[in-house]
Structure 1
Amino acid sequence: MSSIELFAGAGGLAMGVARAGFQHTAIVEWDHNACQTIRANKSHYDSHGEDFDLYEGDAREFDLSRYKNNIELISGGPPCQPFSMGGKHKGNLDDRDMFPIAVRSINEILPKAFIFENVKGLLRKSFSDYFNYTCLQLSYPNITKKNIETWEAHLSRLVQAKEKGVQPLYKVGFKLLNSADYGVPQKRERVFIVGFRSDLSVDWEFPRATHSEDSLIYKKWVTGEYWKKHNISKAAKYDPPKRFLNRIKSQKERGMRYPNTLPWVTVRDALSGLSDPEHPSLLDPQNHVYTPGAKIYKGHTGSPWDEPSKTLKAGAHGVPGGENMLVRDDGSVRYFTVREAARLQTFPDDYFFHGAWSETMRQLGNAVPVKLAEVVASSVAEALSGKA
């Protein structure tokens, strides 16, 4: 099945889509270093050994017309800065808002399905009208905005069409997903917007979570399997959460199996096999280089070993202050290396990131975890498989 990836960044979503069985016809990204990263790892995007076009430039200038009615899936992560909790919160007033381009691509190409990803901040109350507007545009991409029309006036026309029972071109749904719930060693919440062309009559739901915090706590404090796996004997020093143990007791009394999911993947799980970057090993993969200067700030204290990491972030100049850090056993902190951050984003160890440390960390902070992308894209591929 053919696909086009817009706003590709370092390629996390694109790789997950390829792993799900889609073959990219084109990948679009404006940032030079991110494009160099994709070029250096091109084989990861060729699910069937075929080539694709990498367009390095503004997505607004990409010629979509030649792909009309010839693409199964359009995917992408429109720049998140307009809606990010850490951004300037300009939303649709930010010239980096690329959702209009996402809508235009759907209208011009008419793919069978689409997957778009963005930050949790998109669901904030202050953006609710614009988010509703975006979803309606994706549902009715053929009801286009007029040149002199405000987005509010366009929204009013779209609402009227829906209320009159006009059949949408796409059936659109969205959900806030926590990456940790799907086996990613990172607590990263992102909004996924997924649509299927209405004439296909696809019945689809977001994939169910496969991992949970409850299961991780169970493996730590009930069976002790987690500590045994990592040869850690100090677990007895920790106090297990009584709230959780009371729930376990209740479940057992009712004769129910508990838990029924896999445990969240922790930082310790993810970084297993890598040396301390301050004392590197010749066996370490590329991009595993220590960077000094990590400091704790109020509210930014780093990620503990035995939980999924906090959300990796991308500042305007790489790593924002007090972020993307590991808390050592003695309480001190250090920055994650590029390779460690890549593992937390579930990129493979042979995936090389192009650019200086700050630039590569920015690519990683903006990326979609590969594993989460694959889970969502695989469910979309399965839904489409019988709708050729």
Structure 2
Amino acid sequence: MPERPIQQHSLFDTSIESEGADGPIVPSRIRSTSPFHQPRDLTEAQREKFRRMSRESREARRSALAGEGPAPLHEINVPKFHPLDLMPKRDGKGLSALSLFSGGGGLDLGVERAGFSHTASFEIMSEAGDTLRKARSDWAVFSGETDGDVRRANFKQWRGEVDLLHGGPPCQPFSNAGRQKGHLDERDMWPQFVRAVKEIRPAAFIGENVPALASPKFSEYVSTSIMAPLSGSYHIQKIILQASDFGVPQVRRRVFFIGFRTKKMANGWKAPQSTHYWGDASITEGERCMGLREALGLPDIGVDDLSPTIRSSLTGPRHTTSILNSVAAQRKFESLQIWPNGVAADRASARAFVAKNGHFRLSVPDIALIQGFPEDWPFVGATYMALGQIGNAVPPPLAYAVASSVLEVLSK
């Protein structure tokens, strides 16, 4: 991506000048547009190496799109996977929902399809707010560093007006891919989620995060920062779900904290049951989840598998258009003959920009599909920003399953 003037995010800037083993650490010149971005401490020589790689990549992409590169090897794919088929619209019987940390709208879309009417969405990234407004022009969306910052919001205005509060506070303080600083990380927003629950007093809430939050490492944090402040008013249950169990062609686990205001409602709640399976021929119940190649409509090569977990391009040490999150993921994509680096903005561009190894290059619409978004969900922003919104999102079909289980209780 092109270099831009220094303009680090004012809320979560972690770039500092200090001394490193190979010279002074210098801040990145790339403008950070995400509160989740955590730049790496690099020397000028190290940064120049990344700049050179970026320049070479831009030139290769420019040549390809100008028709000067190698001839395309793949046809534009026509996906077989249609996420909305997994989320038939339900009758919410007038129940309403309010969204926090809405991002690109994974939870919001799943909750909407489950039948809840939209009250408001809060999201600090302006591009993600634009995505929500473009997708649903009638939604009330509060976005940007002022309107979208939940720390500035007075949630009492919705007391008694919202049946379900839902949101996924930033996962970076807890993710295995991050520094796992927990409550010491200034991006920890669970206290704000708890505050919103207390001020709104919804009949139920859904809080989502990475499964690492449910690990022993953060057991004390969960106990003191989530369960203790709310257990006096809510009956809370915790579940970990796998996206492929609900038809999403990706390995992606998430933890959900589901709270009900009355014991009767909590006792009546049943955790979502798997609707799909992958890789176990002995399973006879449910439908088979598509593999990645089948979902994208790619030719059969005799090998298929679930996609590795899609990485958000906004949460690493530098903005990127790669979705790789590990060496194991790289091997998996190689076995599927899919190129996960340099994701293109659209399928035509992906076809024109031939990958070095000749594998199929992914596009933003492909990544959205792998995450369970429908084809017409309009992610706003540069390619890395769109990928960041997708990678940070809850797969909508997974959100739909959880919201539907809550609807079953609240609609009685």
The yes-or-no answer on 1:52 pairing with 2:146 is no
- Range with greater deviation from structure 2 (120-129 or 75-84): 120-129
Cα distance in 2 for residues equivalent to 1:380 and 1:265: 27
Structure 1 partner of 2:402:
376
Q: How much has 1:329 moved relative to structure 2?
A: 5.6
Instruction: Give yes or no for contact 1:318–1:360 (8 Å, CA) kept in 2.
Output: no
Q: How much has 1:201 moved relative to structure 2?
A: 3.6
Instruction: Give yes or no for contact 1:41–1:352 (8 Å, CA) kept in 2.
Output: yes
Q: Which amino acid aligns with 2:277?
A: S
The yes-or-no answer on 1:189 pairing with 2:253 is yes
Q: 1:136 to 1:327 in 2, by over 3 A?
A: same
Q: Which amino acid aligns with 2:140?
A: F
SS in 2 for 1:105: helix
Structure 1 partner of 2:222:
131
Q: How much has 1:175 moved relative to structure 2?
A: 1.0
Instruction: Give yes or no for contact 2:241–2:255 (8 Å, CA) kept in 1.
Output: yes
Cα distance in 1 for residues equivalent to 2:174 and 2:244: 22
Q: How much has 1:328 moved relative to structure 2?
A: 6.7
**Identical residues among aligned pairs (%):** 38
Q: How much has 1:62 moved relative to structure 2?
A: 1.4
The yes-or-no answer on 1:355 pairing with 2:355 is no
Cα distance in 2 for residues equivalent to 1:102 and 1:10: 18
Q: Which amino acid aligns with 1:85?
A: N
Q: How much has 1:37 moved relative to structure 2?
A: 1.1
Instruction: Give yes or no for contact 2:265–2:410 (8 Å, CA) kept in 1.
Output: no
The correspondence of residues 102-181 of structure 1 with structure 2, limited to 5 A, is 102-137=193-228, 139-140=230-231, 168-181=232-245
The yes-or-no answer on 1:82 pairing with 2:173 is yes
Query: How many residue pairs get matched?
Result: 284
Q: Which amino acid aligns with 2:289?
A: W
Q: 1:35 to 1:133 in 2, by over 3 A?
A: same
The yes-or-no answer on 1:209 pairing with 2:297 is no
Q: 1:26 to 1:329 in 2, by over 3 A?
A: closer
Q: How much has 1:52 moved relative to structure 2?
A: 2.7
Q: Which amino acid aligns with 1:262?
A: E
Q: 1:334 to 1:212 in 2, by over 3 A?
A: same
The correspondence of residues 30-49 of structure 1 with structure 2, limited to 5 A, is 30-42=124-136
Match of 1:71 among 162, 177, 198: 162
Q: How much has 1:30 moved relative to structure 2?
A: 0.3
Gaps spanning 5+ residues in structure 1: where?
Answer: 44-49, 141-167, 219-247, 249-257, 276-303
Q: Which amino acid aligns with 1:204?
A: W
Q: Which amino acid aligns with 2:403?
A: A
Instruction: List per-residue Cα deviations over 1:261-290 (Å, max 9, x = no partner).
Output: 321221123212x79xxxxxxxxxxxxxxx
The correspondence of residues 204-243 of structure 1 with structure 2, limited to 5 A, is 204-215=269-280, 218=281
Q: How much has 1:3 moved relative to structure 2?
A: 1.1
SS in 2 for 1:65: helix
List 4+ stretches of structure 1 deviating above 6 A.
Answer: none
SS in 2 for 1:327: helix
Cα distance in 1 for residues equivalent to 2:337 and 2:214: 38
Q: Which amino acid aligns with 2:307?
A: S
Q: TM-score, normalised by structure 1?
A: 0.68
Q: TM-score, normalised by structure 2?
A: 0.64
SS in 2 for 1:66: helix
Instruction: Give yes or no for contact 1:264–1:307 (8 Å, CA) kept in 2.
Output: no
SS in 1 for 2:240: strand
Instruction: List per-residue Cα deviations over 1:202-242 (Å, max 9, x = no partner).
Output: 41121111112244xx3xxxxxxxxxxxxxxxxxxxxxxxx
SS in 2 for 1:54: strand
SS in 1 for 2:272: coil
Instruction: Give yes or no for contact 1:138–1:172 (8 Å, CA) kept in 2.
Output: no
Cα distance in 2 for residues equivalent to 1:134 and 1:189: 22
Instruction: Give yes or no for contact 2:238–2:257 (8 Å, CA) kept in 1.
Output: yes
Indicate the RMSD between aligned Cα atoms, in angstroms: 2.3
Q: 1:93 to 1:212 in 2, by over 3 A?
A: same
Structure 2 partner of 1:309:
307
Q: Which amino acid aligns with 2:131?
A: T
Q: Which amino acid aligns with 2:212?
A: G
Instruction: Give yes or no for contact 2:194–2:230 (8 Å, CA) kept in 1.
Output: no
Q: Which amino acid aligns with 1:67?
A: W
